[in-house]
Chains A and B, each alone.
Chain A
């Protein structure tokens, strides 16, 4: 097989008469559409990935909420732990306010997750109905 050159650059592109990944992707997407898992002929929503990444970040942050890691061991670790406890006591009102804000963000994230799940359910129901409708045409 002789490599072809890309018209935009002088890079080589690999043409394979027996395997074209663009056609293969189209076929795989048709399979998904036929099973009602994605809407036929419709590109997936590119914002879905951004939402998933943002939700993953929020989950990571909330998972470590209020975590105080002490890396030192022995007397230095005990001293650090004692100093931190004192500090936390002094700033407790601010911490409580912060915790209330964190809780609000947490609730918002959960609500968004729930909303996303419900939207996905509606999306799949719609896709299934469209596929059925097309089969009956």
Chain B
């Protein structure tokens, strides 16, 4: 049997968690003998025009994986944007508007036809849940559809168009227990179709934190790694950190790495170091040397960066309103969480003043990552559940 991954756009350099998961899973399943192919559109990436064919249609190879692209057709972008704006504002929409949302998002009838023509001897793994390639493709795949939703608690997830799709899926692959719990609440899905597999990570070489500190003239530091934005709660972290330093007089810096911008309050430019993009090696060094990785986002579906910090043996400090990251901390015994400034100060103080316990949390986190999210473990679970759902190599 063949296993197709169906995703709206595909490429080696495309950013995004779902895209990275698709690339990694396809690659590792292929290395274990599964006949894998990616089905996608000719759209370049998420940020591009979803009605523009950037790539040529047809079969090619990307990073050793066969990729078959199908052209998209023009759709009513304005109608889609109007409904999408209502959804993003948290306003209710009608059944008819749901259909407009689906019909004018990504139009790719050739892809749906291909799936319908090949479903007898293949399974189709759709990622992520929201796109028309997934909803329409799953209809074409019938009972050979496996969903990899990358589900968030957001307005889109509550649309009725997804309820039937999840209930009819042969299998649903979740990244975390919390994502599974959300899907159970929203769609009332059957346990037989679900599996918590997680996302795989490449276990990195040990970083050199002392070298990173030396290069940047740093003492002890708290690290934020990722996109700096309000959505990721970076301003909140900066605010809490500045209050912490002012109140406690602690000799601690905050290092920020990644894209985006955040306003650094006057008087703190010597305590907050925004390095922007750094090399992969620098990132590993920064993670290894940090007192802790701070992840203040409340909207994470997995959080690869937490795994990267733990892989380097560093503890983490996450926001208590994010079920997923708190769930990881509890399951790993690898980090603490805060829900307000008082808790931020208390937890950060603990990590600073108890280096042995902090190191123990980091070591626990490393075991958690090695035992759950190393690619061979993730691939084993994929193969186990594919077989459970009737797929055979």
Q: A residues near B, CB below 8 A?
A: 3, 6, 8-16, 18-22, 24-25, 28-29, 31-32, 37-38, 43-44, 46, 48-49, 52-53, 56-57, 60, 63
Could you tell me if B339 and A15 are in contact, using CB atoms closer than 8 angstroms? no
The number of A-B residue pairs with CB atoms under 8 Å apart is 105
In the complex where A11-B331, A19-B361, A32-B343 touch, is A56 in contact with B236 (Cβ < 8 A)? yes
Within the complex, the shortest CB–CB distance from B368 to chain A, in Å, comes to 5
From B196, B235, B321, B334, give the contact of A9 (CB < 8 A).
B196
Which secondary structure dominates chain B's binding surface?
Answer: helix
B94 within 8 A of A: no
From B235, B321, B330, give the contact of A56 (CB < 8 A).
B235
Question: Could you list some 29 contacts between A and B, CB below 8 A?
Answer: A3-B367, A6-B331, A8-B196, A9-B177, A9-B180, A9-B196, A11-B177, A11-B331, A12-B371, A13-B332, A14-B333, A18-B360, A19-B333, A19-B357, A21-B336, A22-B330, A24-B336, A24-B350, A28-B350, A29-B343, A44-B320, A46-B321, A49-B233, A49-B319, A49-B340, A53-B230, A53-B235, A57-B230, A60-B263
Q: Which chain B residue shows the least CB distance to A63?
A: B263
Could you tell me if A44 and B230 are in contact, using CB atoms closer than 8 angstroms? no
Which residues in chain B, 139-192, are within 8 Å of chain A measured between CB atoms?
174, 177, 180-181
- Contact string against A for B residues 117-143, beta-carbon threshold 8 Å, 1 for contact and 0 otherwise: 000000000000000000000000000
In the complex where A3-B367, A56-B230 touch, is A32 in contact with B342 (Cβ < 8 A)? yes
Which 7 pairs from chain A and chain B are nearest by CB? A9-B196, A44-B339, A56-B235, A12-B371, A13-B331, A37-B342, A16-B333
Q: B residues near A, CB below 8 A?
A: 174, 177, 180-181, 195-196, 198, 230, 233, 235-236, 239, 263, 298, 319-321, 329-337, 339-340, 342-343, 346-347, 350, 357, 360-361, 364-365, 367-368, 371-372, 381
Complex contacts, A19 vs chain B, CB 8 Å: 333, 357, 360-361, 364
From B177, B320, B334, B357, give the contact of A14 (CB < 8 A).
B334
Complex contacts, A31 vs chain B, CB 8 Å: 346
